[in-house]
Amino acid sequence: MAAVLELTADAEVDPRPTAPLVAALDVGVSKTVCLASRRDPVLDMHPERPLRVLGVGLQSAPAMASGKGADFEACARAIRVAIEEAGDMAGAPITRVIASYSGPGLSACVVRGVVRIRGKSVAPRDLENAISAALNSTPTPQQTHLHVEPLRFIVDDEPPTGAPVGKAGKKLAVEVCLVTAPTEAITALRACVRFAGAEVEEIIPGPQAGGLAALTPEDRAAGALVLDLGAGSTGIAVFAKEGLVHAETIPLGGVRLTRDLAMKLETTYAAAERVKLAFAAVGSGFDPKEAVAAPKIGPEGRLEAATTLRSVIAETISPRLYELLITVRDRLARAGFAGDAGPRRAVIIGGGASLPGMREFVADSLGMPVRLGRPLELCGFEHGEAGPAFASAAGLLRWRFDNPDLDDVDQEFQPTLAHATHMMRGAAGNAWAWLRDNF
């Protein structure tokens, strides 16, 4: 991969200060991706606000060679190399990242909080009090809050609104989508990145990040489901016009497909993974009678040359994929997103989304229109490289630039209420992390 933006002689002598380098880190079971970028005032003026990638780091996970989980140091090495690759390409060292979490235990719920309005009309502090009341209404022991999304505010008995400040009333209610993850897993992720030589600024749910990169405004307005088809798990995110309304992970992904294929072909996990990547397909987008190379374990325990039909591969992985999608449908129904209350369309991202025939397979299984999700408004890749597997990392960059911290903006920047709330929440989280790590 090569960055498309090169420093010119004029850029080297430009007296204006350089914006800080922002890095996004997506750590998965099969790969680790790091993207580096800077705020570009010219691109910010564009209606679609595209992002220019200055550095790319990509490392395959050591676990994929055996199908077993990689140890802490192996994960840290992959993270370190990916960060160094992205930093070298961007021309500056990366010391802090915004990361995603798509592992086990990611879940969401909608909570409600009600407070009395202190003055005659709603003030920003009333919004903060209402959100705090919502978060305190549902204890989450051993869980870390990854995302807090205020969906709607209600003043007295008036219709819900997204902008209640200035409205007269006595009582303010709020409904909040709260996304959590196991504190132990989040602490381990932070420690792994720190061991690799960087600090984590913030952790965002992976399915949410993918949606920020791959969904259009029309998708959100209609109601859209994001399916992140990863190696270790499948992420679910439901977006509505109010924002993120649901997110969770299912512990079933590409690793399970590879294991099924290894058993069917009587081969090693590594060989089955190569066969899957080269020849796997579902639906009708392949020749079922085509014979392909699929080595198997011989009588002496060594791999020997062998062949199989592509139909055998498809028949092996299709039932597991269908099981996964039925589980997705059941989880959506359990969360209240079935029938007319459910999303109207789906976007698939992640490495598994590129499997031939996958789009049609998902559409048939879920009974809704499905498209392949690629990062939108992203510069810096050749056409074929910024595919579905890079959606989560690109979404992290989008989140970071839409929610700047004080190091990213100049003195003339005037934060909105949303920006101020985000910065205060981040500062509190950093302070708590420091206290936890030092006492």
**Distances from the Cα of 410 to the Cαs of 1, 18, 403, 405, 416, in angstroms?**
32, 11, 14, 10, 15
CATH 3.30.420.40 fits 1-102+183-215+376-439, yes or no: yes
| Superfamily of segment(s) 217-375 | ATPase, nucleotide binding domain (3.30.420.40)
The amino acid that residue 22 corresponds to is V
Q: Which residues lie below 8 Å from residue 363, measured CB to CB, with a gap of 6+? A: 346, 369, 370
Structure-block tokens of residue 185: 């897993």
Instruction: Please give the pLDDT value at position 113.
Output: 96
Give 50-90 pLDDT, tens digit per residue: 788 999 999 986 555 555 556 788 889 999 999 999 999 99
Read off the pTM.
0.84
Name the token pair of 228. 């992140």
Q: What is the mean pLDDT of each run of 10 residues along the chain (439 residues)?
A: 39 54 92 90 67 89 56 89 95 95 95 94 94 90 94 94 92 96 95 95 96 94 96 96 95 95 96 96 91 95 96 97 96 93 95 95 96 84 70 94 61 40 40 36
Please count the other Cβ atoms lying within 10 Å of the Cβ belonging to residue 304: 11
Q: What share of the chain is helix, strand, coil (3-state, %, to 5)?
A: 40, 25, 35
Query: How many CA atoms, within 13 angstroms, populate the side-chain half-sphere of residue 94?
Result: 35
CA distance 257 to 52: 35
Token pair listed for 286: 């392949």
Determine the pLDDT at residue 437: 41
Sign of CA dihedral 109, 139, 188, 422: positive
User: Where do the structural domains in the chain lie, given as residue ranges?
Assistant: 1-102+183-215+376-439, 217-375
Pairwise CA distance, residues 92 & 389, whole Å: 25
- How many Cβ atoms sit within 10 Å of the Cβ of residue 330? 12
- What pLDDT, on the 0 to 100 scale, is given for residue 83? 97
User: What is the chain's length?
Assistant: 439
Nearest to 23 by CA among 181, 180, 202, 192: 202
Closest by CA position to 43, among listed 65, 19, 60: 19
Which distant-in-sequence residues (6+ apart) come within 8 Å of 388 by Cβ? 214, 348, 349, 350, 351, 353, 354, 372, 373, 374
pLDDT at 382: 54
CA-wise closest residue to 52 among 407, 322, 349, 379: 379
Three-state secondary structure call for residue 59: strand
* Domain 1-102+183-215+376-439 shares a fold with domain 217-375: yes
The phi and psi torsions of 25 (rounded to 5 degrees) equal: -125, 120
Pairing status of strand 51-60 against strand 31-37: antiparallel
Which DSSP state fits 121? B
Cβ contacts of 187 within 8 Å, gap of 6 or more: none
pLDDT of residue 304: 96
DSSP-H helix ranges across 47-182:
72-90, 124-136
| CA terminus-to-terminus distance, the chain | 43
Six token digits for residue 354 = 């590129």
φ, ψ dihedrals at 238, nearest 5°: -115, 125
- Say if residue 305 is exposed, middle or buried (CB neighbours under 10 Å; 0-12, 13-18, 19+): exposed
Q: How far apart are CA 36 and CA 44, in angstroms?
A: 17
CA 163 distance to own-chain centroid: 27
In contact, 76 and 94? CB cutoff 8 Å? no
DSSP string of 199-257?
EEEEEEEHHHHHHHHH--HHHHHH-EEEEEE-SS-EEEEEEETTEEEEEEEES--HHHH
Residues 94-151 have pLDDT tens digits of 999 999 999 999 999 999 999 999 999 999 999 999 999 999 998 888 999 999 999 9
